[in-house]
Amino acid sequence: MVVSYGGIDSDADLIAWSREYCRTVRRERGVSVRFDLVDWEVSHRAKRRAAAVKRPKLDGATVGEPYDWDALDGSDGRPLPCTVSLTRAAFESFDRAEWAATLRHELVHVEQYQRDGTTDHGAAFRARADGLDTDVHCPAFAEPKHVLTCSDCGDRVARRYRDCKLVEQRERYRSNCCGAALELA
Burial class of residue 16 in the structure, from the number of CB atoms within 10 Å of its CB (0-12 exposed, 13-18 middle, 19+ buried)? middle
pLDDT at 137: 87
One domain, residues 36 and 115: yes
pLDDT at 1: 61
Number of domains comprising the chain: 2
The SS3 of residue 18 is: helix
Grouped pLDDT means (10 residues each) for the chain, 185 residues: 87 97 97 97 93 96 96 87 97 96 98 97 96 91 91 92 92 94 92
AA letter at 184: L
Identify whether 138 is part of a domain.
Answer: no
One domain, residues 37 and 70: yes
Distance separating alpha carbons of residues 109 and 48, to the nearest angstrom: 17
pTM for this predicted structure: 0.84
Q: Where are the alpha helices (DSSP H) in the chain?
A: 11-29, 88-93, 96-116, 123-131, 165-168
CB 156 within 8 A of CB 178: no
Domain range for residue 104?
5-131
